Amino acid sequence: MKLLDDSVKAIREQWHARIVACLLYYRQTAGSAARAGQMVFPEGMGILPLLTIATMKLPAFSLSRVGPDLRMASVAKLKGMPVTTSFLLCYPRVYSLHDLELQEQQPGSVDTDGLVQLPNLVAAAGAKLLKAGVYLLDNGQALYLIVGPEVADSFLTQCFGVSHFEDLSALSTLPELDSPLNQRLQTIIEEVRRRSPGLYQPLILLPDNSPTALQQVKPLLVEDATPSELSYADYLMNLNRILLSKLENR
């Protein structure tokens, strides 16, 4: 187990070193016009730090206590996945559902090309999830319907057929109802499934103050800090400090 942990640490160090070298080279060549202290990324590589810190939180690369079986299973899963699926596993999509009527594209409707419009995306971060919000999280393996404890009772009635948030504990998934809002959500969910390659994704209902929700959703909010990993914001600041230090020493 120690040998495996040492290998993970070595992989992470090499990974970070290559990212720093890449960004440092770009800053010295094409990014010389940037303001002092400003982080500069090559075109098309702006999400590289985000994907890096998100991938480091997977069991395959995490510094937290991960059993060898779980770690190797994570490695095998990643190696056997298409790129599009592995992207979702590293950085899940989070769709905002509670404000469908306010979204310009009218999620759930069909455009002129025959495609179902999907809701707006929010960052995979706990601070972005409102207590009065409802979100659909897609990590390529399952769909998680996250319901905040302060969602309006009228929304709960139309979508879930219950009168109060506490009544959601009796449900395990989204029921099929005759209400327009429920049918709209069903259409959105089926379109997300259709666009996701690979296996069929079960829908899991998670009231966000339940122990199950905390256990399942927290690791998927990859922009947040964990006991062994930095948050995305802190990782960016740390990366910028390293780059500035290297620039000053040259």
* Per-residue confidence (pLDDT) for residue 31, from 0 to 100: 58
Cross-strand partners of 110: 116
Same domain for 104 and 80: no
User: Rounded CA gap, 219 and 141, in Å?
Assistant: 14
Same domain for 113 and 32: no
CATH of the domain at 234: 1.20.120.730
CATH of the domain at 153: 3.40.20.10
* Per-residue confidence (pLDDT) for residue 232, from 0 to 100: 94
Same domain for 211 and 105: yes
pTM over 0.85: yes
Same domain for 215 and 97: yes
Spatial strand order of the sheet with 203-207 comes to 121-122, 93-96, 134-138, 143-147, 203-207
Sequence-separated (6 or more) residues with CB below 8 Å from residue 45: 22
What residue has token string 């069929």?
Answer: 200
Same domain for 108 and 59: no
User: Rounded CA gap, 12 and 14, in Å?
Assistant: 5
Cross-strand partners of 124: none
> Which structural domain range is residue 70 located in?
2-90+225-248
Same domain for 54 and 79: yes
Q: Is-contact 230 58, C-beta < 8 A? A: no
Kindly tell me the burial class for residue 244, based on how many C-beta atoms sit within 10 Å of its own C-beta (0-12, 13-18, 19 or more). Answer: middle
* Per-residue confidence (pLDDT) for residue 192, from 0 to 100: 95
Same domain for 149 and 118: yes
Same domain for 126 and 85: no
Q: pLDDT tens, position by position, for the chain (250 residues)?
A: 444 556 888 989 998 898 888 888 887 776 555 555 566 677 777 788 899 999 999 998 988 888 888 888 988 888 888 888 888 999 999 999 999 999 999 999 998 888 999 999 999 999 999 999 999 999 999 999 999 999 999 999 999 999 999 999 899 899 999 999 999 999 999 999 998 866 789 999 998 777 777 788 888 999 999 888 999 999 999 988 888 888 777 6
At 202, is the secondary structure helix, strand, or coil? coil
User: Rounded CA gap, 140 and 9, in Å?
Assistant: 27
Same domain for 233 and 183: no
* Per-residue confidence (pLDDT) for residue 24, from 0 to 100: 84
112 HSE (CA, 13 A, CB side): 0
